[in-house]
Amino acid sequence: MAPTMAEQPTRHGPLELHGLSVEGVNQCVHCGLCLAYCPTFSELGTEMDSPRGRIHMIKSLAAGRIALSDSVVEHLSLCLDCRACETVCPAGVPYGRLIEAAKAEIERQRPGRPLRRLLRRLSLRLLLEHPALLRLAAASLRVYQIVGLQGLVRRSGIARLLPGTLPAWEALLPPIPGASERAPLPPLIPAEGRKRARVALLTGCVQAVVFGAHNRATARILAKNGYEVAVPPEQGCCGALNAHGGDHERAVDMARRAIDVFERAGVDAVVVNTSGCGAHMKNYGLLLANDPAYAERAMRLARSVRDISEFLGREPLRGPLGPVPMTVTYHDPCHVVHGQKIRTEPRKLLAQIPGLKVVELQESDWCCGSAGIYNLTQPEMATRLLHRKVNHILATGAEAVVTANPGCILQIQAGLRAHGSEVPVLHIVEVLDRAYKSEGASTAPSETSPRSIAPAKPALDRAGDVAP
Ligand code: SF4
Ligand code: SF4
């Protein structure tokens, strides 16, 4: 069924939305194979909430046949950008790129009320671009939590009186860790045993202050596996949240900055443990394709980016690993499995841990409703998808959920709590780190995986050498 909004006269010219190419819309052959894999179509059953319907809308928008009406905005905004449709599309439609262009256009034409604009500017620009401010905000939130104010706000229901999406932000606020966990990592962590290569670790923006433990665990397991880990202190946000939020201009600036920083680090690969950031950085080549000063460098850096599971999962882990006797299930984050096409590597890594039993999760690669800040902007659909995910998790009987993205961890943990479940949600690096620390694992890494990457210069030019 075709979209039903009133059509307007066709505008001639290249298929783009305010400078962002949407040429890929023409690749769609309307076969509908993607429909059964789309979470919003599955929940609502309406064509305009399916990939095919949205592609039709984006094409009509770019051709000037329709305007950005309330209805069009609603259907496009309801898309999770989970890219499950991309995985199954036989025609190779680059759906993620199309929906990001559409969301940037929505942001440009319909920026919302002054309060919303102010909050977005504060969160997307001020905080993400100034790590010192972000650390200050984290410290203030920690005080808010430890003096008991958060408990009071939650018990009294005052949070519900806050404007806009603030109540949802408050409900999702994770426990902010202490100062030692929020402190920056040392700029260099030496490899243990025989050195294989030098890599850089993206410590991220929000990740660094909320999930510093994941960064530390990532650095430790890389070192255990023979990698020298550079942590450039001047690194900032990769720009993924800006791109997903429709702030294209700022996303481009942040990508340029990240390229400068990681080039200077002289590394063989840039390792990332947050899936949205990894998928976005792998897209830097396209993002900067029209920038003569950065186009080639962006392609080179993008080729060197590796998700932590992808990077370690290409060969056996260096042992010894101690036992982690528990039963877990694995949730595939959308921007790992669909955005980066990484499906087998996390399971291969978990299979190497003695005592760990992995039970498969039904619809493991369906979005949990987190999707960046989707759970804040579209709480109703996010909650429906979260219930679906939590029900599948509880049906496995697993003692813990393992995943690979902080957004999924917060969302699923909140969903489990709401169902009265205490099942913890862990990042895969925490499980691997636990195995290395477990009684029975020696402190000296063995040399069981002799494949080495010979150092040469310039390091990033050889990024393809470390590809799986
Ligand atoms: S996006 Fe791909 S799978 Fe979906 S209708 Fe178009 S061609 Fe078919
Ligand atoms: S990105 Fe996800 S929610 Fe959006 S159309 Fe594709 S499958 Fe559906």
Residue-range domain boundaries for the chain: 16-109, 114-176, 181-313+446-466, 326-437
Please give the residue that has the higher pLDDT: either 90 or 208.
90
d(CA 250, CA 129): 10
Are the C-beta atoms of 227 and 191 separated by less than 8 Å?
yes
pLDDT value for 448: 36
Confidence label for 87 from pLDDT (cuts 50, 70 and 90): very high
Q: Average pLDDT for residues 322-331, to the nearest whole number? A: 97
Confidence label for 97 from pLDDT (cuts 50, 70 and 90): confident
Q: Identify the weakest region by mean pLDDT among 222-231, 309-318, 329-338, 370-379.
A: 370-379
Per-residue pLDDT at 12 exceeds 70: no
With pLDDT > 70 as the criterion, what percentage of the chain qualifies?
84
With pLDDT > 90 as the criterion, what percentage of the chain qualifies?
57
Tokens 């599948």 label which residue? 392
> Measuring from atom 4 of ligand 2, which residue has the nearest CA?
79
pLDDT value for 124: 62
| The dihedral sign for the CA sequence 124, 125, 130, 132 | negative
Tell me the pLDDT tens digit for each residue of 213-262: 999 999 999 999 999 999 999 998 898 888 877 677 888 999 999 999 99
pLDDT value for 466: 39
Q: Identify the weakest region by mean pLDDT among 227-236, 287-296, 395-404, 436-445.
A: 436-445
Please give the residue that has the higher pLDDT: either 398 or 234.
398
Going from the Cα of 50 to the center of ligand 1, the distance in angstroms, rounded, reads 10
Going from the Cα of 38 to the center of ligand 2, the distance in angstroms, rounded, reads 5
Pairing of strands 227-230, 197-201: parallel
| CB of 366 shorter than 6 A to ligand 2 | no
Please give the residue that has the higher pLDDT: either 34 or 7.
34
Ligand 2 atom closest to the CA of 81, numbered from 1: 1
| CB of 97 shorter than 6 A to ligand 2 | no
Per-residue pLDDT at 190 exceeds 90: yes
> First vs last Cα of the chain: how many Å apart?
42
Tell me the pLDDT tens digit for each residue of 432-446: 999 999 866 654 444
| CB of 389 shorter than 6 A to ligand 1 | no
pLDDT value for 14: 53
pLDDT value for 117: 63
| CB of 219 shorter than 6 A to ligand 1 | no
| CB of 83 shorter than 6 A to ligand 2 | yes
User: What tokens appear for 200 in the block?
Assistant: 């850089």
Q: What b/e string do you get for 328-358 counting C-beta neighbours within 10 Å, with b at 16 or more?
A: bbbbbbbbbbbbbebeebbbebbeebeebeb
Pocket test for ligand 2, best of 28, 38, 384 (most atoms within 8 A of CB): 38
- Share the mean pLDDT of the chain: 85
Longest distance between any two alpha carbons in the chain, whole Å: 71
Fold classification of 326-437 (topology level): Rossmann fold (3.40.50)
pLDDT value for 209: 77
pLDDT value for 307: 97
Per-residue pLDDT at 101 exceeds 90: no
Ligand number nearest CA of 28 is: 1
pTM: 0.85
Q: Identify the weakest region by mean pLDDT among 125-129, 226-230, 357-361.
A: 125-129
Tell me the pLDDT tens digit for each residue of 53-71: 999 999 998 888 888 899 9
Going from the Cα of 4 to the center of ligand 2, the distance in angstroms, rounded, reads 20
Going from the Cα of 300 to the center of ligand 1, the distance in angstroms, rounded, reads 30
Q: What is the CATH number of domain 16-109?
A: 1.10.1060.10
